[in-house]
Amino acid sequence: MKVITLLGLILPFLVAAQQPTPRSSGSTSPPSAPSVGPSNGRHYTNSSGQLVHSPMGAPSAPAGATAKCGDGTYSFSQHARGTCSHHGSVAFWLIH
């Protein structure tokens, strides 16, 4: 009788342990592209975890651009560190 009672107490825990752990209710899909500025189809995740347009060429500063790079592309970086890396460094900032 004690064995059956013990199994009755343990069995629910064993069954629960075999169930997959539910994931958090947060979205597991990748972040959506930013809605500001034109898109060249390329983005990166910055140090704050935000999706940002990669630098892109344009005849004039696109909406949302923050700096013009040395190679003539425009950056949408939200942090000074690393802005225009691999693009000839910052030629000048578009925001103050």
pLDDT value at position 8?
56
pLDDT tens, residue by residue, 23-70: 444 444 444 444 445 666 788 898 899 999 899 999 999 999 999 999
Cα distances from 77 to residues 57, 59, 68, 93, in angstroms, run: 14, 19, 10, 10
pLDDT tens, residue by residue, 73-92: 999 999 999 999 999 999 99
Any idea of the CA torsion for 70, 76, 81, 86, to the nearest 10 degrees? Answer: -40
Nearest Cα to Cα of residue 57 among 33, 43, 40, 45: 40
Any idea of the CA torsion for 14, 19, 24, 28, to the nearest 10 degrees? Answer: 150
Domain coordinates of the chain in residue numbers?
42-96
- 17 pLDDT band (50/70/90 cuts)? very low
pTM for the whole structure: 0.58
